[in-house]
Structure 1
Amino acid sequence: MAEEQLFKVTIDNITIEVPAGTSILEAARKIGGDVTPPAMCYYSKLKGTGGKCRTCLVEVSKGSEKDPRPMPKLVASCRTTVMDGMEVKNITSSKVVDARAGVVEFLLINHPLDCPICDQAGECHLQDLSYEHGDAGTRFEFEKRTFKKVDLGDKIQLHMTRCILCYRCVYLADQLTNKRVHGVLDRGDHAQIATYIKESLDNEFIGNVIDVCPVGALTDRTFRFKNRVWFLKPQNAHRDCPTCSGKATVWLRGDEVFRVTARKDEWGEVEDWICNECRFDKKLTSDWVIEGPREINRHSVISQNHYTKETKDPQEFLPEILGRKPRILLDIHDVSDVDKPGIDLSLIEGPAHSTDFDTNTNENYESK
């Protein structure tokens, strides 16, 4: 078997070796941290995604060892494969920083900015993107594009006004279902995600469009307006499901299951697709085997104040300082007439009991 060819690529002054054919974005994800460009349309588990949102633009300052010339324009890291000796600038490039701010401004031009009432708030990639790379204000002074909300069946609602046309849901329906009934209609500023003849999305795996949507355009109708995600505790859970792997994340508040989603990795991508029955119909804790708290790796409010590791009592340092166990040698019998004469309560093994006290005194108190 031929040995796999590895290419050496440097991203923001960090060098890594990756297999030939790896995209710059995937190479950056192997490094992790701020070196990784954001991505709103690319999805590693869906073929053909990427190249539409332009948020992952990077500067290639050196093409390769054989051709060290820089690329003349910024390139989409999700669609550009690495070459041996390539050097890439992401956060270290002022051109990338300016371009990304422009892309964010463009994505927000028609966005309603209704985060306070959006179910995606708290786990929205567009929120993260605008906070990290956008500007505080806007230069857009015209009326925004708006659409009416559409129910795609009894479980999914489409709010096209929030959509950024990332095409993820279209690719998912193409590759995960046997009959796609929705897509992008019209062109230019009239383009929209829609079901042309008003068919509902009723395929067994179509609920996954909710998980791949990076904004609040596709939402779970069984969860809408019921709770905020940062009040819920995500738990890994599984069940014996004949349709899918049965591995999911259940979102609890107390013992109540508010929603069920697929498990996601640190880049917000689904690990295992789940079926509609697991997602929409299994809303009791008795339906699931709870494995434990879910690690939320993204910089999210969901991960705040959720203790996933075993808590420990604080260490008592007084015995260490004294070199012995502290003893209280106070005999309070002369003062209170409560404990029996000659008994030091601090020397008793374990907690004090009624036999350690003067029963006659207790009887006197009771009689009073």
Structure 2
Amino acid sequence: MKVIIDGITIDVEPGTSILNAARMIGGEIVPPAMCYYSKLEGSGGKCRTCLVKVSKGSEKDPRPMPKLVASCRTTVMDGMEVQNITSPEVKEARKGVVEMLLINHPLDCPVCDQAGECHLQDLSYEHGSEATRYEFERRTFDRIDIGDKIQLHMTRCILCYRCVYVADQLTEKREHGILGRGDASEISTYIEKAIDNDFSGNVIDVCPVGALTDKTFRFKQRVWFSKPVDAHRDCPTCTGKVALWYKGEDVIRVTGRKDVYGEVEDFICNTCRFEKKNTSDWVIEGPRQISNRSVISSNHYEQLAPPPVVRKNLALQAANKEEFERATKH
């Protein structure tokens, strides 16, 4: 099917959403998405940040859609024309959505561990308003430890449901979900039961804000002072492909590798995430490539020498490879 987004024409398969069609083009015309996650079935349609204007429905029915639509939930039609950054109506609506998301969100970015990786920060900077009209007291929740490795700070949550989909689709049992309705809705465990399964740590990776954080990493380092390195290991539970975050020669956290849209490429197990924090546990592949739009790239770490322990590991791997090649020749 042929679809035109902000004047750019692209051919896509039937059933493709407008958001994924825009991602195939790439660049600034890709709508922001806080709740959609391509690897989680059923995600999307919650945050409304990806609203776009369909100015032409299709070749058969060229009438425009009467309202703005969520691009993550709307499939393309042949001949459809879509406006994103070229529509003043979309920009104004998106500004209102951001204002709504920030109504109850706390202003604790200076102490939040998600700073530097927070999609809500990026969204508010690119699409938000400079001032707020909200004068009422914000809703607050007590912090909850859901297990010995994960802390839930519900005050920061925007109810994107990503963590719920992860628990539903990666584990055999789910202990947490949405409790309450309306402005009383919250992510919580039933009677504060601990989340305890091999893939529970992935709720941290998919959370777009600082609502679910790694207790083993909290307040240890700002991400833009860390040096992320790609590594892998032979893991019987998951793919073992991770990103190691270094502070000097110490691995201070392990996360899944994320693509340009902040989505995890492969979900990893808790053993890799929480228990393997020695360089000797991993095969180092090299520094991660970070977008120059990210504050993490301000370190220009990819132009610097990796930590000594990483250099030593890479040298050993190279020596072993040469020795193996010489042995196989003879």
Structure 1 unaligned regions, length at least 5: 1-6, 312-368
Matched, 1:266 2:241: no
Say what the alpha-carbon RMSD is for the aligned residues.
1.1
Aligned to 2:273: 279
Runs of 4+ in 1 over 6 A off after TM superposition: none
Matched, 1:157 2:172: no
Aligned to 1:138: 132
Aligned to 1:207: 201
Matched, 1:51 2:45: yes
Matched, 1:11 2:31: no
Q: Secondary structure of 1:197's match?
A: helix
Q: Give the Cα separation in 2 of the matches to 1:157 and 1:167.
A: 16
Aligned to 2:88: 94
Q: Encode CA deviations 1:157-204: one digit per residue, 9 max, x unaligned.
A: 000000000000001100000000000000011100000122111110
Q: Give the Cα separation in 2 of the matches to 1:271 and 1:298.
A: 20
Q: Give the Cα separation in 2 of the matches to 1:301 and 1:172.
A: 27
Q: Secondary structure of 1:19's match?
A: coil
Pick the aligned partner of 1:75 from 66, 69, 79: 69
In the alignment, is the contact (CA less than 8 A) between 1:233 and 1:306 conserved in 2? no
Q: RCO (CA 8 Å, sep 6+): is it higher in 1 or 2?
A: 2
Q: Give the Cα separation in 2 of the matches to 1:254 and 1:292.
A: 15
Matched, 1:299 2:299: no
Q: Give the Cα separation in 2 of the matches to 1:292 and 1:133.
A: 34
In the alignment, is the contact (CA less than 8 A) between 1:55 and 1:104 conserved in 2? yes
Pick the aligned partner of 1:62 from 56, 61, 64: 56
Q: Which protein has the larger Cα radius of gyration, Structure 1 or Structure 2?
A: 1
| Amino acid corresponding to residue 257 of structure 1 in structure 2 | V
Matched, 1:20 2:14: yes
TM-aligned CA deviation for residue 307 of structure 1: 4.4
CA distance 1:198–1:43, change in 2 (3 Å)? same
| Amino acid corresponding to residue 306 of structure 1 in structure 2 | H
In the alignment, is the contact (CA less than 8 A) between 2:224 and 2:299 conserved in 1? no
| Amino acid corresponding to residue 283 of structure 1 in structure 2 | K
Q: Give the Cα separation in 1 of the matches to 2:179 and 2:304.
A: 51
In the alignment, is the contact (CA less than 8 A) between 2:120 and 2:209 conserved in 1? yes
TM-score, L = length of structure 2: 0.91
In the alignment, is the contact (CA less than 8 A) between 1:266 and 1:298 conserved in 2? no
Q: Secondary structure of 2:116's match?
A: coil
TM-score, L = length of structure 1: 0.82
Q: Encode CA deviations 1:9-62: one digit per residue, 9 max, x unaligned.
A: 000000000000000000000011110000000000001000010000000000
| Amino acid corresponding to residue 165 of structure 1 in structure 2 | L
Identify, as 1 or 2, the structure richer in helix.
Answer: 2
TM-aligned CA deviation for residue 308 of structure 1: 2.9
Q: Percent identity?
A: 75
Matched, 1:35 2:29: yes
